[in-house]
Structure formats: structure tokens, C-alpha cells
Amino acid sequence: MAPSKAKHASGQPWVIPGGFSVLSLQFSSDSAARHCLYVKEHKVRTEKSSHRPLDRTLFLLNIPPYCSEVVVKELFSQFGGIESVELRDHPGSSQESGPKISKLFRPPEKQGFKVGYIVFKNSSSLQAVKSYPFDAPLVVSTEQRPVKTGVQKWIQQYSESFIQPEKLQQKVDNFMQSYDERKEKEAEQKKEEAERQQEEEEGWVKVTRGHKGAKARPHSEAANEKTLQKEKRKKRRKELLNFYTWQHRNTQKEHIAELRKKFEEDKQKIALLRAQRKFKPY
């Protein structure tokens, strides 16, 4: 995304179409080249995760490869306290769900320009970033926080790629322990769900005795409402069954009444034929 070439006043923020503010980035104080960052307040209606609150999250584009999460946090800490920094290859929903895996077991990250999400502690920090003047560049590498690039960065990455066996074993043990705990929790939830479903189908409630000295817990409003709805369903089923039973009995009574009526009519016809002497059974 290339910034517009329109002139802007000195000491004023530079806003381009799309609502993005342009920040100037300078690698070092003696560097002549500058890099442009495009920042905007994160406003996505489909974002349901509390990991990125809509009123405190800043969205960044065109982050250079030499800016890590630590560097980005140090650059933007001058605008206010920061809760978290997240860099990704492309925009998308946050990966908050699921277990966190150590970088030793993840595939290597792609080296290139990234997008980022910065969550500030206060919403006023967003306005401070958007109103920052374009002609005051943010310096990435200083004497207090030097950033390595080129061969020095490769040497550092190569040195950090080696890990002690004790640390590796500890990370593996921690991962397996969290995995076992997560599986046990899922199994317990499935068991409770199966028991709850069976109780609802059979209409029985399992009552267990608590430990000695435990006080009985009062029924919650949700539990009382659930019980009331269950009783209403039972009552409706019973009324429907009684209606069908009454309808069947009433139909049988009407059929018997019709048979008796026809029998009486036949008796009267036979008596009339006998009186007229026209009845010849043989």
C-alpha cells in the first residue's frame, strides 16, 4: 500500500483513504531511509474474542521483518501501557483457543512483512497513535535497545537454535502434563453430559451424598426453571394421552349404541312380519 503523495502540514498526522494513519519508521538515527507503517483502530464486528477488545486494539500494516514483537512493543510503549502484541502473516481472527505450543515444536515463521495487533491498557492510547505527526519518525534501533540485522541476526538465530537437553525435556514434560490434564477434563465433561442426557430421558435425578459437614446448596433459578419446564412437558404429554384414550372410548360407545339401535330395529321388523303372517322361516 503506497501512501498518497499529497502534501501535508508539518507536525500533523497523515491520514490516507481507508482511515489509516501513516507513521514514519526509521531504523536508526543516522539512517536516511524511512519506512511507512499504516495503523488503524481495530473495528471488526465479527471479532467475538476478548483477546482483542474493540476499543483498545490497534491494527498495523506493513511491519518490516526486522521488527519483532518485542521491538514493536518498545516502539509503541511511548503512547501508553501495552497488554499484548501479536504479529501475523495476514489478518485474521485471534488464535486464543487451543493449547500454547513452544516455538521448538512449531514450524519456522516466514520472514517477510507482517500485520500486527497491539492491545493497549487504555483507549486514549489509540488516539495518541493516530494523532502522532508523520515527520517525527519512530527509531527502531538505538543504543539502549539495539536491533541486529543481516549477518549478525543470522548468527544470533543460529546460536539460539541450539537448546540444552534438560530444557528440552522440561518443555516436553510440561506439554505432556497439560495434554493429559486437558484430556481428563474432556473425558469428565463427556461423562457428565452423558449422565445428564440419560437422566433427562429417564426422568430420574441422581442424588449423591456430599462430604461430612457440607451444607445443602439451594436450587438455582435456572435449575428451578428447567424442572418446571420438564413438569409442563410431562403434563402436556399426559393430557394428550388422556384425550386419545377418551376419544377411543367414546368411539366404542357410539359404535355399541349404533349396534343396539340396529338390533332393536331388526326385532321390530321381525315382529311386524310375524303379525302380517308373511314370515316363513322354513
Q: Mean per-residue pLDDT for 72-80?
A: 91
Q: What pLDDT is recorded for position 23?
A: 92
Distance CA 87, CA 49 (A): 17
> With contact defined as beta carbons under 8 Å apart, do 63 and 113 qualify?
yes
**In the chain, helix, strand, coil percent, each to 5?**
45, 15, 40
pTM: 0.55
How do the domains of the chain map onto residue ranges? 14-146, 148-190
Q: What pLDDT is recorded for position 120?
A: 93
Residues 6+ apart with CB under 8 A from 91: 59, 115
Q: What pLDDT is recorded for position 22?
A: 92
Q: For the segment 39-68, what is each residue's pLDDT rounded down to a tens digit?
A: 998 887 666 666 888 888 999 999 998 888
Q: What pLDDT is recorded for position 72?
A: 92
Please report which confidence band the pLDDT of residue 202 belongs to, taking 50, 70 and 90 as the band edges. Answer: low
Please report which confidence band the pLDDT of residue 1 belongs to, taking 50, 70 and 90 as the band edges. Answer: very low
Q: What angle do CA 73, 75, 78 make, to 5 degrees?
A: 95
CA 203 to chain centre: 33
Amino acid at 37: L
Q: For the segment 81-128, what is each residue's pLDDT rounded down to a tens digit?
A: 999 999 988 887 665 555 566 666 666 667 788 999 999 999 899 999
Q: Domain spanning 14-146: which superfamily?
A: RRM (RNA recognition motif) domain (3.30.70.330)
Distance CA 104, CA 108 (A): 9
Q: For the segment 156-178, what is each residue's pLDDT rounded down to a tens digit?
A: 777 877 778 888 888 888 888 88
Distance set, CA 54 to CA 1, 96, 98, 150, 190 (Å): 24, 16, 22, 37, 34
- Please give the share of the chain, as a percent, with pLDDT higher than 90: 14
Look at 3 and 203; give whichever has higher pLDDT.
203
Q: What pLDDT is recorded for position 220?
A: 58
The three cell numbers of residue 89 are: 502473516
Residues 6+ apart with CB under 8 A from 280: none
CA 265 to chain centre: 78
